[in-house]
Structure 1
Amino acid sequence: MLRIELTTQVQAVREAVFDACLDVDMHTTSMGASAERAVGGVTTGRLTAGDAVTWEARHFGLPWRMTVGISDHRRPHGFTDEQIRGPFERWRHEHVFTPDPANPSATLMRDVIDFAAPMGLVGRLVASLILRPYLQRLVARRNAYLAATLAERHSAG
């Protein structure tokens, strides 16, 4: 099992960050580079406890499809999505939101992703050398998009 951990500061209150991270339309926009779109389950609006969404995207030039469900939902503290069906042997993405002690108008958004690839030793090698760095960059880009969008909204509002 591999782990990715990222912390991103967002200039917005945690309720706004929590809600944005569960917004299917914002997710789709933030993942434009991989042409990700919701094709099943909840395909627009905000996800909540027990909801599932099927994402379709292109990664490494190949079509990918993954269905995740919201297995834990604690607004505004955090939520967890887990793969129900898809390319991974295991996928669990925990999202944690805490006020930034250094900046009361900001939120620290923490992503903890535990995943494993199928195909035994070969899968573990591919996951370690290729998937982990790729996914870390993908989530970092998504977080940068969310942070910029929410900071813009926060400064305008």
Structure 2
Amino acid sequence: MEVRVQLEDFDAGAEISRLRLSRRDTGAVVAFIGQVRDINEGAEVSTLTLEHYPGMTEKVLQAIVQQAATRWALHDALVIHRYGCLQAQDQIVLVVTTSPHRGDAFSACEFIMDYLKTEAPFWKKEASASGERWVEARSSDDSAKQRWQSQ
């Protein structure tokens, strides 16, 4: 189980392949890649700057991954999250889960993303022609996380 918070981009294909090939008994690999949109809430976005709390961010992400590993039969999980100033279509986050079966891999990947969106200490600032604004937390992200609490 690995967590990385980094400024530089990542090679999603290489990371997925590395986990896919790490165990012969892996039957499922699920990956999610989040990227910067060029529009948010009807406003054009020129850049997205992500800030985080170093040290704490990694601990929170590791705890989320460990929680997923206790809930589902995972072989491995990887979370890479970027910070800094990003452009439209730049990759922000990669979550990869591997498991003997697809159900566990899908559920764990979705769980990790839902908790990451609400628990990880990242702050997002969007820049557009009309200026800069901090991105507010979404109630839909809280709802997505809450569904796991009843399972």
TM-score scaled to structure 1, two decimals?
0.36
More strand per residue: 1 or 2?
Answer: 1
TM-score scaled to structure 2, two decimals?
0.37
Tell me: higher relative CO, structure 1 or 2? Use CA pairs within 8 A at least 6 residues apart: 2
